[in-house]
Amino acid sequence: MALKSFLTFFVTIGPIEAAVLFAAFTPKMPYDMRRAIAIRATLIASCILAVFTLFGDPILSELGVSLAALQVAGGIVLLLIALDMIFARPAGAIKLTPPEGAEAQTKDDIAVFPLATPLLAGPGAMSAGILLAANAHGEPLGLVVVMASLATVMIMTLVLLALANQLNHLLGVTAQRVLIRVFGILLAAIAVQAVFNGIHASGLIPR
């Protein structure tokens, strides 16, 4: 459960990709200012994802959405993101749209937009949080594991954002794309399993 939660959050939040984009948005910004933006963005994104992880399932329950439906829907969303990562689509679910990218380039403070959301706390990460919490079936230990995994990924994200320029130069474009594709394959497997679990839980297909 811990490894699955960590990998799911890591690939949907995308700290490496966020760090690369952050370096592109702040090439001439002083380090202290970049660090302050990174801290603010990480805190805001963490709060957003924590709220969706802890309270997303109860809200959906009030709307009459079953766990099986949530598993299938969340799996499909994660699968679409995984395919974007694997095939390196330029306008996928975890990318900024051209208007968003243009607006980000003109903003002095990018902590809230586009860094905190939609780059870090995007629809994929929100769906992942709800799905992982739902799979914990309300067990306190399971929720603790999910939240600990989220906290671990966000701490790693903060570190990578603070070292964005160094990371960008160290990895290079080729290594970044290889890593994104590898994590995309792992996310695709997790997404398909979530769809399978949802179909079985629905009772439409017997085990």
User: What mean pLDDT comes out for the span 68-82?
Assistant: 82
d(CA 158, CA 169): 18
pLDDT at site 93: 46
The single-letter DSSP state of residue 114 is I
Segment holding 9, helix H or strand E: helix 2-13
Range of the domain at 36: 2-202
User: What mean pLDDT comes out for the span 32-48?
Assistant: 95
User: Does the pLDDT of residue 186 top 50, yes or no?
Assistant: yes
Out of 94-103, 144-153, 171-180, which region has the weakest mean confidence (pLDDT)?
94-103
User: What mean pLDDT comes out for the span 141-160?
Assistant: 96
User: What mean pLDDT comes out for the span 124-145?
Assistant: 88
User: What mean pLDDT comes out for the span 115-133?
Assistant: 87
pTM over 0.85: no
pLDDT at site 103: 55
Backbone angles phi, psi at 47, to 5 degrees: -65, -45
User: What mean pLDDT comes out for the span 61-80?
Assistant: 82
Most confident of 69-73, 100-104, 110-114: 110-114
Give me the number of domains the chain comprises.
1
pLDDT at site 99: 62
Per-residue pLDDT tens digits for 151-173: 999 999 999 999 998 887 787 77
User: Does the pLDDT of residue 96 top 70, yes or no?
Assistant: no
pLDDT at site 91: 45
Contacts 24+ apart (CB under 8 A), 85-92: 85/11, 85/180, 85/181, 85/183, 85/184, 85/187, 86/181, 86/184, 86/185, 86/188, 88/177, 88/180, 88/181
Out of 51-65, 83-97, 132-146, which region has the weakest mean confidence (pLDDT)?
83-97
Give the number of C-alpha atoms closer than 13 A to the C-alpha of residue 62, restricted to the C-beta side: 4
Examine residue 207 and state whether it is found in any structural domain, yes or no. no
User: What mean pLDDT comes out for the span 113-137?
Assistant: 86
Examine residue 156 and state whether it is found in any structural domain, yes or no. yes
pLDDT bucket at 122, cuts 50 / 70 / 90: confident
Would the CA dihedral through 29, 32, 35, 39 be positive or negative?
negative
